[in-house]
Each structure stands twice: as C-alpha cells, then as structure tokens.
A and B are shown apart, each in its own frame.
Chain A
C-alpha cells in the first residue's frame, strides 16, 4: 500500500492552495487526487474575469487564476494524479481510489485534506412540476458545455435562480447568440453579486423578475416553454399571475451544496446548515488529522477567500503531521445568533489561536446600517458596523488572540439592527 504524509482530495483552487501551503511548511510526501483530466476544478469553466483581486491585486479570469496555482504545484514538484476518483475514505485515513492508469487502489495517509468543492442543486431537488424534457440544465452544466466543449445548448433561454453562475450564464449565452428572456428569482432579492446584475443583465436588457418562480414546464420530449408566476411573502405562487415564456432551454441556478459523500462515509460530523463538515479554528473536522477547506466546507462567493482559507488548512495539516498535538484544552462553541445563518468554525480552542482566528458566516436577510457583534458570557468581544449586509456576501471577521483571553463560555455571533 502506498503511504503519504498528506493526501489532498480535489485539485481545484482549495486543494492546490492547501497542498502548496503544506509543501512550503516542509511536508514533502503529498499526493493530490483529481477526478478531472486537469488541475483547476471549476475555475477551468469560469472564463469570465473578477478573480484574484485580493490574492494577486489584479483582475484575472478563472483559467488564469487556476494556472498560477497549477504552475506553482508543478514548480514545487507536488505529485498529483488526474482522472482519479476517490471512492471511500475510512476513519483510519485509508483512501480507496480508482483510475484508468492504476486501477483500484487503497492508499494510506497521516493527514487528509478534504477539498472536493460543491455541486449545484439539481431539478429533482426543486420540485418543479411537469415532464422531464430535454433542455433543462443546471447553469454550471451549460457553462461547461459552452466554455469547455464549445457547444451552445439552446437559442431561447429562461434562467431560474439568480445565483452568480446563472447571471454569468445569462451574459455568456447572449454573447453566443442566444436570446435570454428572463432571470426568475423566488426571493425578493438576488442571491448573486450586484456587479453581476449590472454587467450581466442590465447591460443586455435582460429582465430580473424577483419574487417569481417557474410553476410549470411545457414539452414532453423537448422543452417548449415555461410558466412563470409571482409568489406571495410565503413564496407561494399567486393564482392568475402566470405568464408563458416560450423557450428551448431552462437553466437552473438555485444554490450550491458542498459535496460531502466521502466525508459522510468517513464519519465526519456535518453541519445541517452549511452541509459541510463542522470544524474548529484549525479547520480540523471531527476526525483527528482530517481537515476541510473551500466549498466542501461552506460555499464561498470569492475564490480568493477559498485560497486564503485553504492555506490555513495546509499549514495546520503540516503542523499535525509534524506531531503538534491537535487542539489542546477544552473548546468553546461558536454559534449563530440573530441574523446569522451559520459560523465557520463552529468551535474554538482559544489556546490554539496564534494571532487571530477568522470567523466566516452569512446573514439570514438584508440588513442596512446594522452591526456584527460577538459576545461570550454577556461580554462583548467584537463589534463592527456595516453599510449593508446581504446573504449573497460571505462575511469574514478576525478575532485577535488577546480578545479571546479568559473566554470560557460559548461565543455568539449576531447582527444588531440599527435603531429606527
């Protein structure tokens, strides 16, 4: 059985950044496993720009951002195996994988970094009535077809969900000559970035229909059109508001789900809110020596934040391999209070925090002029006011080590609304 100090599952932005960081900390025995035929993960199909402003202080496209990391992986001589699918990870960190080149194999690792990313919510999870005609795709599938296979899946398009991939694909399909009739969003606000509404919809005169949803799909073999209706404040369609849009393509951009089948079979404890592993400040999961970072942990909106987080996972995994005791002392719980959906990490070993600890979270609604407050046992540790907090933008605060001195009770992160 081949043995490695560190096995990284996934060769996307998270896996590459984590492996590079571990290597730079002196871990030499590393293996990156990637199921696709090249490194880079989802960035390979994200040909639009907007990546790298934090990491490189310049605006790059997805493939350019990926190539900077894959070049570094090659420069450092970090081994990676492509076309390799991980089938199982055991509690003892034995990893079963399969590839055309090596067949089925089990390898052993001292530490594992989970970096499998996320996937799109499929039609089956959305409960749209109607037949199952050809022409319904997730936005990411259409993105892969257009950008990586050179195939445009349709000419007349409706997009359900206003996630960033949906907005980006509205522009992309338009530039490829398709007519995008509308982007339909169930919520009263978009789940995508504001800049994407401007440069992907407004620039091309594509209407964004908020508080609307697709209530029926017409067509048996091939998609012929969709019925769109307004919804009330309980997201229930309002009878009589149905409008018919003829189209041959329906793209779904209705949320991303961390891909944790492997984590589950390994016995890693998952958060019911994020769908990702519960981790402590070192990004270690409930299994010692198994770390998680990137979209498999919680869905990010910026790859720059994925890279930064993954560097920390790589450094901590390298520390674990060198024999640093994992997480000493007693942890305190970090929990979401009013207005906060979840926090990563969800527990904190205050003793282990070096300079400071990042707490990342999303809010439950739109808050204007509100403050983020962090308290423990009635004591306020942190407060920051913001102009506007929206669910589509992940928030990141850093609690400095000195703030955590003497903290023994649970930490709560919440939103305090502005006094009217």
Chain B
C-alpha cells in the first residue's frame, strides 16, 4: 500500500510517498533530509507530536510550556490536561520542569519563557 504524507519536520513540508507493508514503512521517497524519513517511519507505525500550551501560575500569569520531546499523538489531550493541572508559582526560568512525566509518557514538560 502507498501512502502520501506531508513531512512536518520543518517548514519546507516535503511531500512524502511511503510504501507500507504490515503497518510499517518499507520505503520513503520525496524527502530531502533524514528528518523526513524518520517522520514517515514513525507516522506510519506510531505517530508522535511535540505539544505546546500554557499553564496558569498561582499569580494568574500564563507561562508557555512545551513537551521536552515528542509524545504519542493519541496522548495530546491528556498531556495538555496534566500541564494545565500543574501547580506553578513565580518566578519561572526558561527550561524549568513543570511536569516531570506528562500523562505517563515519560516525557517532561518545561517552561519556554522566563517570567520573573
């Protein structure tokens, strides 16, 4: 089976053509770098995404947060819920861990801005 994908690895958005056998990518064409090939392989077998959102501090200030790595796509909403529920007080430094293991993915969520 052939599947057409758009790589989300960078703003170029390469159009990928992937040959799929038994739920695994066996060949990838159309990519211009290694990121495209890796994306196609994971997108076919187990899609992942990085998540960005905000957490409201006890002082009522929104602090931007991202997952430190990619998490399974089907866990996006659970991860956001975990981040929203975190108790955070100012000051926050860029890179501070907000949630150490977001929704049991083993991936941490970290602050992306310093807020004094």
Q: Which residues of A line the B interface, CB within 8 A?
A: 44, 47-50, 53, 59-61, 63-64, 67, 146-150, 175-176, 193-195, 197-199, 203, 301-302, 388, 393
Contact = CB atoms under 8 A, between A and B. Distances in A.
Contact of A49 (B6, B50, B54, B61): B50
A61 B64 contact: yes
A53 B80 CA distance: 25
Given A47-B52, A199-B8, A147 B114 contact: no
B62 A149 contact: yes
Contacts of B15: 194, 388
Given A47-B66, A195-B10, 7 more contacts: A49-B52, A50-B11, A60-B112, A147-B64, A193-B13, A199-B8, A203-B73
A319 to B, nearest CB: 31
A60 B66 CA distance: 10
B94 interface: yes
A146 B53 CA distance: 10
Q: Which of B60, B64, B66 has the most CB of A within 10 A?
A: B64
A197 B113 CA distance: 26
Given A49-B66, A67-B114, A175-B76, A146 B11 contact: no
Given A47-B54, A48-B52, A63 B6 contact: no
6 contacts: A44-B113, A61-B66, A64-B112, A149-B62, A195-B11, A199-B49
Q: In the complex, which range does the number of interface residues on chain B fall in?
A: 20 to 34
Contacts of B11: 50, 53, 193, 195, 301-302, 393
A147 B56 CA distance: 10
Contact of A194 (B6, B50, B52, B114): B6
A158 B53 CA distance: 21
Given A53-B10, A175-B76, A47 B53 contact: yes
Contacts of B88: none
A91 B80 CA distance: 51
Nearest to B66: A61
B75 to A, nearest CB: 12
